[in-house]
Structure 1
């Protein structure tokens, strides 16, 4: 019988055993004898009030090497350029501008939660007119507006372009998209969003993937940490947590502890099909009742071989083109029925579908037929 080392007391042994039992209680028993993947609550929900806000602005990029807007084709660029020059004390009224070094752009940014004055955020810049490249340009001062029309940040700085375009009279080489760019830390926050986190009466969590089972598991995990009755499920998207006790006036600590709780998310069985690219994604909980499938190929080939008919020498005739069409119809070898489905795992289901020996686009038709037969127990989503 194994013995504890002499330097370990019974009190220490009991502490080790209690710690192991507490760890098992937190992790929970494995389902079906297998390890269960658990996810942090932080990765499953968003907290009410803790969110990003979108900003947008209109500005000018200068310093382009002849790759900017043609002012004759982009009158808004010319108007903006004249307005900027006049604000700087340069009179351009009645003048016709012909520069190709300026481009009108849209500037977008994402304002992080609880921004403070002076916080720097990244901005994205996209050409509006017929500029061919923003390489080497500099964005001049551009206010960034929120949905309420107020300016919350100001952007300016040199652009970082990930693509380029070069060419001559006969050929052009383009890599990436040279008419879009980014400015790292290119905007400075000037106005703060007024939101007092410690003044709210309850923490509201919104599930990124709404599901009743996941919402109840999150509520159970929170109640297990804070005590029964502190969390309740409002609907399949929302879980409310009451603020009280030591967390009154310290909501950030409560949110931090909730974020680190681990639960096992659940989701509806779904098959997602992208017909444009032939991509198929099958969820882990997808099940197919036992069905027998066969798939045949029908190929129709049309070959045009026009021939030229010429008259005999010195005859009163003319040369004509005689159309000749060759149509070939080929039906693929009839495959035997393949049995797919039953109470099987995802890997076994994929192996059964692969046994059909068809491509992704034919697999789309097969999945639609299985769904029509009532044997596919999942949502079939075609995008």
Structure 2
């Protein structure tokens, strides 16, 4: 068996290196389908008001929720039951708001998921059934009707002296709980141009999308009009066949660009930094003031045969640490995100202190990124 020559080994290594580079470049690219949406092809929000029945005593208190009482009486009257003037004391009914997202191109007779949320002082919707509820759009027209058993993720358990609640038992979902009764007409067949709306507006990304489409079409059919919109003039060969055009365009791959940004959530201490975040040369130091208080009470006994009493004498130990061991650190210019994170972690800085440090670096003009506080 012949051993491969050095030349062949070098060729194999170069081929493998090229394949790895190509794979890494391809992994950084995204489909246009994931970067932009076709203008006009979107969801619509629906809302409705209804009643959930069958609750195990966890429904609305009718005296505190007059709208629930009125709705219950009106529903019973439509069913031929007269309750006017009667004293209703049921606790098994709750007034709810029903919301849903009407999908694009949804056809009559198909189903969609809905969310049910308590409106009154109901304690839980567990085990309840939503009665037929019309769902209206922004134009006041009925587009779907919802009904079904409510499924919740939380629960409430209580006794005489203790109560435990996990999750939110007053909000639930009904899978395929709404039946679509009206369609939204979206005419795509006879369009002369197609508008793509970027989910994250950016000048560079919109230009790259237009360039990828033009390269695929072999003509200047796409043009970025602004950071969030790319207009495609429908070529003659796709006239009347928008489905084929959209299918081919959305599979093209583009490397998206993004602004250097640091997102901070002060409530939870979460910090997210983009890969393009850079820091100019800056020196920083971080010190903590830690006060430790310890209590070691001592029992004082009286002398034998005396009239004294046994008492507990408090003894407090107080220790103050100003963090004098923390030194001034130098962050060099143009460091990468990994180097910045490693350097800050080496200082032993927690998320809360890191938020203050990033804001201070930004105030000093050394952080080349935008800070967004949630």
**What is the TM-score when the length of structure 1 is the normalising length?**
0.83
Q: 1:270 aligns with which of 258, 261, 264?
A: 261
Tell me: CA distance 1:242–1:174, structure 2 relative to 1, closer, same or farther (3 Å): same
Task: Write out aligned runs for 1:234-253 (5 A).
Answer: 234-253=225-244
Whole-Å separation in 1 of the counterparts to 2:149 and 2:27:
49
Whether 1:381 and 2:368 are equivalent positions in the alignment is no
1:340 touches 1:353 (CA, 8 Å); kept in 2? Answer: no
Query: Which residue of 338, 350, 359 maps to 1:368?
Result: 359
Shift of 1:244: 2.3
Aligned position for 1:296: 287
Alignment-derived partner of residue 281 in structure 1: 272
| Alignment equivalent of 1:206, drawn from 176, 184, 197 | 197
CA distance in 1, matches of 2:266, 2:349: 15
Which stretch of the first structure deviates more once superposed, 117-126 or 163-172? Answer: 163-172
Partners in 2 of 1:123 and 1:90 — Cα distance? Answer: 29
Is residue 37–residue 199 contact of structure 2 (8 Å, CA) maintained in 1?
Answer: yes
Q: Provide the C-alpha distance between the structure 1 equivalents of 2:231 and 2:317, rounded to a whole number of angstroms.
A: 71
Residue 36 (structure 2) aligns with: 45
Q: In structure 2, what is the Cα distance between the partners aligned to 1:238 and 1:304?
A: 66
- 1-structure distance, mates of 2:257, 2:205: 5
Match of 2:73 in 1: 82
**Structure 1 SS opposite 2:152:** coil
Kept after mapping to 1: 8 A contact 2:190/2:239 = no
Structure 2 counterpart of 1:98 = 89
* Cα separation, partners in 2 of 1:34 and 1:232, compared to 1, 3 Å: closer
Match of 1:187 in 2: 178
Give the number of equivalent residue pairs: 339
| Matched residue SS, 2:281 | strand
Q: Which runs of 5+ in 2 are unaligned?
A: 1-14, 297-314
Q: Is the 8 A contact 1:295 1:334 kept in 2?
A: no
1:54 match: secondary structure: strand
The structural deviation recorded for 1:275 is 1.1
Residues 138-165 of structure 1, C-alpha deviations (whole Å, 9 max, x = no match): 1001000001111100000111122211
Q: Which residue of 2 aligns with 1:315?
A: none
In the TM superposition, what is the alpha-carbon distance from 1:342 to its structure 2 partner?
Answer: 2.5
Q: How does 1:160-239 map to 2 (within 5 A)?
A: 160-239=151-230
Task: After the TM superposition, list the runs of 4 or more consecutive aligned residues in structure 1 that deviate by more than 3 angstroms.
Answer: 33-36, 299-305, 324-330
